[in-house]
Structure 1
Amino acid sequence: MNFDFDEDQRRLQEEVRRMLTTHSTSAAVRRVLEGAATHDDGTWQQLAKLGALGVALPERHGGAGMGLLELCLIAEEAGRALAAVPLLSSIYMSAEALRLAADDAQQGEWLPRLASGQAIGTAMIAQDDQHALPGAPAKLDGTHLTAIFNAVPDGMVADVLVALAGDALVLVELAGKGVTRSAQTSLDPTRPLARIACDTAPVAVLAASGGAAIAERVTDGAAVLLAFEQVGGAERALYAARDFARERIAFGRPIGGFQAVKHQLAEMYTAVELARGHAYYGAWALATGAPELPRAAAAARLAATEAYTLCAEEGLHLHGGIGFTSDMDCHLHLRRARWLAQIIGNRFWWQERLARELIGEDA
């Protein structure tokens, strides 16, 4: 039985990697970090041009009609390149919620725009969203929403917001009446956050009931995709540390020759490969709609969070004093690792979710 991706999928991954190597450079990421842009629009448009944004969306709505496995590989490369683009908010969450919940007319209106990069979506549907930074509970009155959402990813640049209001899933056009938004401080400014307030804002109802179940499925899928981003970032941080350890000289020899450094790198490598295995299991469950998805998503989320945090922290340490300066990219990985560890629920929430799934299986 083959658990790896096939040759065509790997070719897609290589093409995306080549493009990101050219466009999502350290300079491009730092431009967003320093506040010169809300996101790296050049990289975003290149992803759209490659068809990467719509790879898992149906062809009749502007997508490539491939699948979620291909999107997992794109996520891994985005994480490896530290791409400052709204993949999580617009594609993993918003587009997927529309694909699963919206009617054909609603999909026809928004999915082609999201797939082409002409519009950006965001979502506040993860069950832990309002626990992290409490706002006003979402109240739906017919087709009008009153709520306050905090820590909304890419909320300042998004055109639409998919939100959970009770058991209903709704779509809010953020340029419409009754919507105000303000930027919030983010640990990783390359992944900005916003506060969005809806005061009887008009909405389109995507699902009048059953929205919570759809939101849970979308969140599980996002957890798997973020795990691939984290694996890509962790591997990049690991190999940057390895390469530096080969070059940095101490006591007349490269520090990579010291046993303590070898052990450190080995621990980082082991964490990455363990996370990769969990991410692959999550990708299989996501792509096949397997009932194991909640368990697989939680396990992937936890393993990948641990791996990226470890590699970002230890990679910085192995760079020595220069690793703490802005001259190196170590801090970019540390910021991204910490940001990814908190979005759509922190590790404590996912630990509890995994425990519930495992206990449920044994009951």
Structure 2
Amino acid sequence: MQFDFNEQQNEFRQEARRFLAAECSTDRVRKALEGGGFDRQLWQGVAEMGFLGIAIPEEHGGLGLGYLELCAVAEEFGRAIAPLPILSSVYLAAEAIKTFGTPEQQSEWLPKIAAGAAIGCLASSEGERLTEKSVRVAFANGALNGTKAPVLDGDIADVAIVLAKEGDALSLVLVDLSQDGVARKALETVDPTRGQASLTFAGAKAERLGERGDGWGNFQTLLDRAAVLVAFEQIGGADRALEMGRDYALERMAFGRQIGSFQAIKHMLADMYVSATLARSNAYYGAWALSTGAAELPRAAATARVSSTNAFRHCAKNNIQVHGGMGFTWQMDCHLFYRRANQLALALGSLPDWEEKLVMRLAAANEPLAA
């Protein structure tokens, strides 16, 4: 039984690692962090490599490959903590349009996203815990009104998938953000390499994505699929943070010894390895469910999300501890991973929300056994 990516998928992953190692150094990440703005040159390079269109059909300008290839590349974006809207544009917006869009919507937007000519985002939150009853942004007669915040990459996106109230139900709607009826405001965030914004709609022209009233169910499906892909970003970041801690422990000398020889450091690194390895196992389970369309996807996605979120935050935090006082300084790269770990922990909803989903889905799966 195969529990890893096959040879072709691993080659695809290695190609992504080589490209990102050459083109997305931590110096480039720092440039974005320190106010350099969105790196469109890097984004265009990623598009030319075909990474944005991996899971987009060939007839819409993509490579027409599968989710396993996308998972493999997502891990490399996580290792590089790439300052790019991969999550918003590829895992969420493109996936929503591909899954729920009309042929006209797909032919208009998917080729642009695959080519890097358009950036997508998902606008769901309204500043409080999101529930089926909390949505206030309204869609009626082809117009959208209200405010969504925070919206990941909303400051640079060209198109948004918006969860809106339509009558007494919820729908997903597609909005071109270049029109006059849309106002943006950048928001402060723990990880400025992936910006946040508020989007205010004042009679903005919009069109439904999917069927009327299916918005909440389609939104949950979209989150489950994205959770698996983000899990691979998180384990990529966790593995890199572990490697950084290990390398520093072998280089740093104290009392005439490598600090890696001290039991406390050994235990810390061992704990990081265990959490990252457990997360990888759960992410692979999610990748299988996603790639096969298995009924277990909701449960597998929640498991991967919880495990990978915990692992990345654990490894990023302990990497700082291994580095000691130096780890807290601006000059070290440790905080780049800590920032990204916390940003991704909230990107698809909070960890407690996903833990609640996991408990409910596990309980539902066990109901036939209890009966």
**1:328-347 maps to which residues of 2 (within 5 A)?**
328-347=332-351
Tell me what 1:203 maps to.
206
1:220 offset after TM fit, Å? 0.5
Secondary structure of the corresponding residue to residue 35 of structure 1: helix
Letter of the aligned partner of 1:8 in structure 2?
Q
> Which one of the candidate residues 249, 258, 265 is aligned to 1:261?
265
1:230 offset after TM fit, Å? 0.5
- Identity among equivalent pairs (%): 47
Letter of the aligned partner of 2:14 in structure 1?
E
Q: Residues 211-263 of structure 1: CA distance to partner in whole angstroms, max 9, x if unpaired? A: 32222111111111111000000000000000000010111000001111111
In the aligned structure 1, how far is the partner of 2:77 from the partner of 2:204? 34
Tell me what 1:43 maps to.
42
Q: Residues 8-37 of structure 1: CA distance to partner in whole angstroms, max 9, x if unpaired? A: 000000000000001111111011101111
Tell me what 1:131 maps to.
128
Q: Residues 106-128 of structure 1: CA distance to partner in whole angstroms, max 9, x if unpaired? A: 10000000000011010124xx6
1:129 offset after TM fit, Å? 6.4
Q: Say whether the 8 Å CA contact 1:187–1:335 is kept in structure 2.
A: yes
In the aligned structure 2, how far is the partner of 1:237 from the partner of 1:61? 37
TM-score by length of 1: 0.96
Of 135-144 and 60-69, more deviation after overlay is shown by: 135-144
Secondary structure of the corresponding residue to residue 105 of structure 1: helix
1:42 offset after TM fit, Å? 2.6
In the aligned structure 2, how far is the partner of 1:357 from the partner of 1:129? 26
Secondary structure of the corresponding residue to residue 43 of structure 1: helix
Q: Say whether the 8 Å CA contact 2:142–2:205 is kept in structure 1.
A: yes
TM-score by length of 2: 0.94
The alignment's C-alpha RMSD in Å is 1.4
Q: Say whether the 8 Å CA contact 2:52–2:115 is kept in structure 1.
A: yes
Establish whether residue 271 from structure 1 lines up as the match of residue 275 from structure 2: yes
Secondary structure of the corresponding residue to residue 180 of structure 2: coil
Tell me what 1:141 maps to.
140
Q: Say whether the 8 Å CA contact 1:19–1:46 is kept in structure 2.
A: no
Secondary structure of the corresponding residue to residue 320 of structure 1: helix
Q: Closer, same or farther in 2 for the Cα pair 1:136/1:275, shift >3 Å?
A: closer
Establish whether residue 302 from structure 1 lines up as the match of residue 292 from structure 2: no
In the aligned structure 1, how far is the partner of 2:49 from the partner of 2:250? 36
Tell me what 1:225 maps to.
229
In the aligned structure 2, how far is the partner of 1:360 from the partner of 1:212? 19
In the aligned structure 2, how far is the partner of 1:260 from the partner of 1:317? 11
Q: Say whether the 8 Å CA contact 2:126–2:147 is kept in structure 1.
A: no
Tell me what 2:244 maps to.
240
1:130 offset after TM fit, Å? 5.2
Tell me what 1:192 maps to.
195
Letter of the aligned partner of 1:131 in structure 2?
E
Letter of the aligned partner of 1:244 in structure 2?
Y
Secondary structure of the corresponding residue to residue 201 of structure 1: strand
Secondary structure of the corresponding residue to residue 197 of structure 1: strand
| Structure 2: 5+ residue stretches without partners | none
Secondary structure of the corresponding residue to residue 163 of structure 1: strand
Tell me what 1:152 maps to.
151
Tell me what 1:80 maps to.
79
Letter of the aligned partner of 1:156 in structure 2?
D
1:40 offset after TM fit, Å? 2.6
Tell me what 2:176 maps to.
173
Tell me what 1:26 maps to.
26
Q: Residues 265-303 of structure 1: CA distance to partner in whole angstroms, max 9, x if unpaired? A: 000000000000000000111111111111111110111
1:191 offset after TM fit, Å? 1.1
Secondary structure of the corresponding residue to residue 36 of structure 2: coil
| Structure 1: 5+ residue stretches without partners | none
1:168 offset after TM fit, Å? 1.6
Q: Say whether the 8 Å CA contact 1:248–1:254 is kept in structure 2.
A: yes
Q: Closer, same or farther in 2 for the Cα pair 1:232/1:129, shift >3 Å?
A: farther
Tell me what 1:213 maps to.
217
Letter of the aligned partner of 1:257 in structure 2?
S
**1:62-141 maps to which residues of 2 (within 5 A)?**
62-125=61-124, 131-132=128-129, 137-141=136-140
Q: Residues 74-120 of structure 1: CA distance to partner in whole angstroms, max 9, x if unpaired? A: 11000000100000110000000000011111100000000000110
Secondary structure of the corresponding residue to residue 131 of structure 1: coil
1:178 offset after TM fit, Å? 1.4
Q: Say whether the 8 Å CA contact 2:238–2:315 is kept in structure 1.
A: yes
> Which one of the candidate residues 245, 254, 275 is aligned to 1:250?
254
Secondary structure of the corresponding residue to residue 319 of structure 1: helix
> Which one of the candidate residues 278, 296, 309 is aligned to 1:292?
296
Q: Say whether the 8 Å CA contact 2:290–2:297 is kept in structure 1.
A: yes
In the aligned structure 1, how far is the partner of 2:246 from the partner of 2:110? 42
1:132 offset after TM fit, Å? 4.3
Tell me what 1:319 maps to.
323
In the aligned structure 2, how far is the partner of 1:94 from the partner of 1:355? 28
In the aligned structure 2, how far is the partner of 1:123 from the partner of 1:197? 14
In the aligned structure 2, how far is the partner of 1:98 from the partner of 1:116? 15
1:141 offset after TM fit, Å? 0.7
